[in-house]
C-alpha cells in the first residue's frame, strides 16, 4: 500500500513508531503493535504500528512518522512511501521461552539484544524480557552469555596499554562520588583508566552529570581512545558511546517498577567494563539501611557472582563491601558534588573527609592490582599522589582534554535560594537516610538544575547542638525549594537522639 508521509513532530526516544489511519489498517488487516516495512526508494525501515481513530490526527491515505523513522529513511511530510506487513521478530519467541522457565543460549540473547538496540521491540516487549529475567533468575552461564551479547552488539574500545583499570559501584548511596577522585590518582600513577559513567536515572546526580559541571562528557570512542592513550584517563557519559548500547534501553524499562534482575545487573555492569577492554576491575558494594543492598547475605551473593562471572570473562576482579548506611561526601547534586571533589583533590580544609578516605582506600587497592604499589602499600602510595598535588594536576589534564577549563571549587555556582534544616535539640545524629536525602535533592531540581541539591553539614554519629545546621537545601526555583522543604518536613529521614 502506498501512503503519504505526515511528520508527527514527535521523538519517541525508544521504538520506531508509525501511525496509520484505522481505515487503512483495516484494509491491511493491521493491528496495534504489528510490524510494518516502510520503503522510500532504496531506503527502508521496520516500525511498530499505532492506530489512529481520528481523521484529524492521521487522515486516511497518510502515515504519521516519528522523528526516528523519518531520519532512517530520509523522509519529510508529503513524501510517498510503500508499506507492507512483516512478521514479528524471532526474539519474541525467545522472550516467551524465558517466561516459561526456559534457559537461553548466547545466540538467543544476542538476537534479543540486537532487536532492542535496533528498536525492533516495543517497550512492552522489552519489559517482558526484563520481567522474565527477574522472575526466572539467570544462571551463571546465562549471565555470561548475556554479558557477551551486550558487548558484541556494540563497539569495543581497544587500547595499546596494559593493564586497563576500571571500577564500579552498584549504587544506592547519595553522594559517593569516589570515581572522580580515584580516576586521577590511578591515572597519575601511570595506569590506564578509560571510565564510562551513567547519568542519573533516580538519583540527584550520576557521575557523568557531576563531571559535566567541569568538562564535556559526550565524546566518541575515538576521542576517548586518543585521550586515554595520551594521558591515561578520561570520564565520559556511556550513553554518548556505542559501547554495550542496549544497557540504557533496558534500564529505562526497569525503572518504573524498580526491577533489578540480578543476572541482568551483573551483565549490565560487566558488559560496560568488557567493552572498554578492562583487565582489572574493582567492584564496590555499599551495604546498609537505605542502600540498594541492605543485608550481608545479599552482598555476599553479589560478590560471589561478580567473581565467578569475571573469571569466565577473563577480568581480574576485587569486590569490596563498604558502608552504605548514609550519604558519602557533603554535596548531593552535580555542582555541590563537583565542588567536594575539587576540594578533596586540592587538599582543601573544606573537603569531606569520609569521601577522601573511601577514595584513597579504593585507589590504593587499584594501585596494588595494577602493580604500581606492593601489597599493603597501596593506600600510602595513593595518599602520596593526592597530597603531592599530582592527582589534581592529572584531573586538570583530563578536564582540559575533554574540552573543559580548570576552575577553583569556590567558583562553582550553587543554588541562589536555600533553606537550612537545623537541629531542634542537642544530641547525636543517629541516621541520615540515603533515599530521603536523594528525594529532597531531586525535589529541589537536581540533576536537571545542576546548581540545586543538598549540602550535608553533619553526618550520622556526629554530635549536634540545638539550632545548628544539619543540612542546607539549594535550589534555583522557589516553588521547587518549597516542595523540597515540604518533603523534608513529611519524611523522617534525619534522626537525632539526645
Model confidence over 85-130: pLDDT tens digits? 988 899 999 999 999 999 999 999 999 999 998 878 888 889 999 9
Task: Report domain 414-497's class.
Answer: alpha beta
Once rounded to an integer, what is the mean pLDDT over residues 388-398?
98
Q: Which of 60, 61, 69 is nearest to 8 (CA)?
A: 69
Query: CA-to-CA distance for 421 and 363, rounded, in angstroms?
Result: 34
Q: Which fold has domain 2-86?
A: Barwin-like endoglucanases (2.40.40)
Strand order in the sheet with 316-323: 165-169, 280-287, 316-323
pLDDT of residue 118: 84
Q: Please name the residue that has the C-alpha cell 554479558.
A: 147
Mean pLDDT check: name the lowest of 64-78, 181-195, 216-230, 236-250: 236-250
Query: CA-to-CA distance for 22 and 268, rounded, in angstroms?
Result: 40
Residue 340 has pLDDT above 70, yes or no: yes
Q: Please name the residue that has the C-alpha cell 562520588.
A: 177
Mean pLDDT check: name the lowest of 122-126, 155-159, 419-423: 122-126
Q: Where in the sequence numbering do the catalytic residues fall?
A: 260
Model confidence over 438-448: pLDDT tens digits? 999 999 999 99
Query: CA-to-CA distance for 194 and 275, rounded, in angstroms?
Result: 10
Residue 137 has pLDDT above 90, yes or no: yes
pLDDT of residue 199: 86
Once rounded to an integer, what is the mean pLDDT over residues 317-325?
97
Provide the CA 243 distance to its chain's centre, in angstroms.
Answer: 13
Domain ranges for the chain: 2-86, 91-136, 165-409, 414-497
Mean pLDDT check: name the lowest of 181-185, 196-200, 255-259, 331-335: 255-259
Query: CA-to-CA distance for 185 and 49, rounded, in angstroms?
Result: 51
Q: Please name the residue that has the C-alpha cell 506487513.
A: 85
Kindly report the average pLDDT of the chain as a whole number.
94
| DSSP state letters, 90-102 | THHHHHHHHHTTP
Split at pLDDT 50, 70, 90, the class of 364 is very high
Alpha helices (H) in 286-425, listed in sequence order:
296-313, 334-345, 353-369, 378-387, 390-401
The length of the chain is 498
pLDDT of residue 101: 96
Model confidence over 299-313: pLDDT tens digits? 999 999 999 999 999
Sign of the Cα pseudo-torsion (198, 203, 207, 211, in order): positive
Q: Where are the beta strands (DSSP E) in 380-452?
A: 417-422, 427-432
Which CATH architecture describes the domain 165-409?
3-Layer(aba) Sandwich (3.40)
Once rounded to an integer, what is the mean pLDDT over residues 31-43?
91
CB-based contact 272:236 (threshold 8 Å):
no
Residue 372 has pLDDT above 80, yes or no: yes
Is omega for the bond preceding 163 within 30 degrees of 0, making it cis?
yes
213 backbone dihedrals φ, ψ, rounded to 5°: -65, -30
Q: H or E stretch including 443?
A: helix 434-443
Q: Which of 332, 358, 370 is nearest to 186 (CA)?
A: 370
Split at pLDDT 50, 70, 90, the class of 254 is confident
* Helix 390-401 and helix 378-387, axial crossing angle in degrees, nearest 10: 70
pLDDT of residue 14: 64
Residue 164 has pLDDT above 70, yes or no: yes
Amino acid at each position: 500500500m502506498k501512503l503519504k508521509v505526515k511528520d508527527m513532530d514527535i521523538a519517541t526516544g525508544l521504538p520506531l513508531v508509525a501511525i496509520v489511519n484505522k481505515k487503512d489498517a483495516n484494509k491491511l488487516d493491521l493491528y496495534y503493535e504489528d510490524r510494518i516495512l516502510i520503503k522510500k526508494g532504496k531506503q527502508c525501515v521496520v516500525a511498530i504500528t499505532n492506530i489512529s481513530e481520528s481523521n484529524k490526527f492521521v487522515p486516511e491515505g497518510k502515515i504519521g512518522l516519528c522523528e526516528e523513522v523519518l531520519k532512517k529513511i530520509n523522509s519529510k511530510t508529503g513524501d510517498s512511501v510503500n508499506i507492507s506487513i512483516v512478521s514479528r521478530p524471532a526474539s519474541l519467541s525467545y522472550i516467551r521461552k524465558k517466561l516459561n522457565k526456559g534457559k537461553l543460549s548466547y545466540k538467543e540473547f544476542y538476537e534479543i539484544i540486537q532487536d532492542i538496540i535496533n528498536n525492533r521491540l516495543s517497550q512492552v516487549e522489552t519489559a517482558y524480557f526484563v520481567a522474565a529475567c527477574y522472575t526466572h533468575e539467570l544462571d551463571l552461564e546465562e549471565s555470561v552469555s548475556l554479558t557477551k551479547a551486550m558487548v558484541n552488539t556494540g563497539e569495543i574500545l581497544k587500547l595499546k596499554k596494559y593493564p586497563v583499570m576500571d571500577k564500579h559501584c552498584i549504587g544506592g548511596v547519595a553522594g559517593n562520588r569516589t570515581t572522580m577522585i580515584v580516576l586521577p590518582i590511578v591515572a597519575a600513577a601511570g595506569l590506564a583508566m578509560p571510565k564510562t559513567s551513567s547519568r542519573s536515572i533516580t538519583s540527584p546526580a550520576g557521575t557523568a552529570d557531576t563531571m559535566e559541571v567541569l568538562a564535556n562528557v559526550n565524546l566518541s570512542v575515538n576521542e576517548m581512545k586518543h585521550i586515554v592513550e595520551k594521558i591515561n584517563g578520561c570520564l565520559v557519559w556511556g550513553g554518548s558511546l556505542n559501547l554495550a548500547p542496549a544497557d540504557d534501553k533496558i534500564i529505562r524499562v526497569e525503572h518504573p517498577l524498580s526491577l533489578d534482575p540480578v543476572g541482568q545487573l551483573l551483565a549490565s555492569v560487566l558488559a560496560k567494563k568488557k567493552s572498554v577492554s578492562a583487565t582489572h576491575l574493582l567492584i564496590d558494594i555499599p551495604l546498609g539501611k537505605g542502600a540498594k543492598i541492605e543485608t550481608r547475605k545479599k552482598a555476599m551473593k553479589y560478590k560471589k557472582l561478580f567473581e565467578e562471572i569475571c573469571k569466565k570473562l577473563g577480568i581480574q576482579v576485587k569486590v569490596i563491601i563498604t558502608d552504605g548506611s548514609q550519604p558519602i561526601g557533603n554535596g548531593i547534586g552535580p555542582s555541590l558534588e563537583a565542588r567536594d571533589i575539587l576540594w578533596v583533590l586540592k587538599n582543601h580544609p573544606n573537603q569531606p573527609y569520609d569521601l577522601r578516605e573511601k577514595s584513597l582506600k579504593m585507589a590504593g587497592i587499584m594501585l596494588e592490582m595494577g602493580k604500581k604499589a606492593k601489597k599493603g602499600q597501596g593506600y600510602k602510595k595513593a595518599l602520596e599522589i593526592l597530597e603531592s598535588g599530582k592527582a589534581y594536576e592529572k584531573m586538570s589534564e583530563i578536564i582540559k582534554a575533554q574540552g573543559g577549563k580548570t576552575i577553583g571549587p569556590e567558583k562553582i555556582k550553587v543554588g541562589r535560594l536555600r533553606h537550612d534544616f537545623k537541629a531542634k535539640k542537642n544530641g547525636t545524629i543517629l541516621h541520615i537516610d540515603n533515599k530521603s536525602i536523594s528525594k529532597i535533592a531531586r525535589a529541589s531540581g537536581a540533576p536537571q538544575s545542576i546548581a540545586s541539591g543538598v549540602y550535608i553539614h553533619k553526618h550520622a554519629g556526629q554530635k549536634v547542638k540545638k539550632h545548628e545546621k544539619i543540612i542546607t537545601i539549594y535550589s534555583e526555583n522557589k516553588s521547587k525549594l518549597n516542595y523540597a522543604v515540604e518533603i523534608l518536613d513529611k519524611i523522617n529521614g534525619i534522626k537525632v537522639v539526645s
